[in-house]
């Protein structure tokens, strides 16, 4: 029987099959996001990524958007363990389901 989509990420199954968590594509993805924001003259004070994985996209964006704070959320403890290595004073990662976070 196949695991639910959430269970695939929380159990470590996805990490076992994707140990770098797609980091190889992160620079390209960050570039697309940067281009969209800049072409629309958007200078965000905060960027939140839901399903941030290893956090490499936010890390890359933080190099361009130097006045922006970043938060990444992921349900996978393995992903957040990788992301935590990228934390800084402006980048924070949370092992939480964003749909359950109260503000």
State the Cα–Cα distance between residues 60 and 42, nearest whole angstrom. 17
pLDDT(85) > 90: yes
pLDDT(5) > 80: no
Q: Which residue has the tokens 């697309």?
A: 32
- Which residues fall within 8 angstroms of residue 100, CB to CB, at 6 or more apart? none
State the Cα–Cα distance between residues 51 and 95, nearest whole angstrom. 10
pLDDT(18) > 50: yes
Q: Where are the beta strands (DSSP E) in 1-103?
A: 46-50, 69-73, 91-94
Element (H, E) at 82: helix 77-83
Confidence at residue 30, expressed as pLDDT on a 0 to 100 scale? 97
């Amino acid at each position: 029987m196949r695991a639910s989509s959430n269970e695939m990420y929380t159990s470590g199954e996805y990490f076992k099959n994707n140990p770098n968590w797609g980091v190889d594509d992160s620079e390209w993805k960050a570039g697309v996001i940067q281009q969209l924001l800049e072409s629309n003259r958007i200078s965000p004070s905060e960027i939140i990524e839901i399903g941030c994985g290893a956090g490499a996209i936010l890390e890359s964006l933080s190099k361009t958007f130097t006045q922006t704070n970043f938060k990444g959320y992921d349900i996978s403890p393995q992903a957040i363990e990788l992301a935590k290595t990228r934390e800084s004073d402006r980048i924070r990662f949370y092992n939480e389901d964003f749909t359950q976070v109260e503000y």
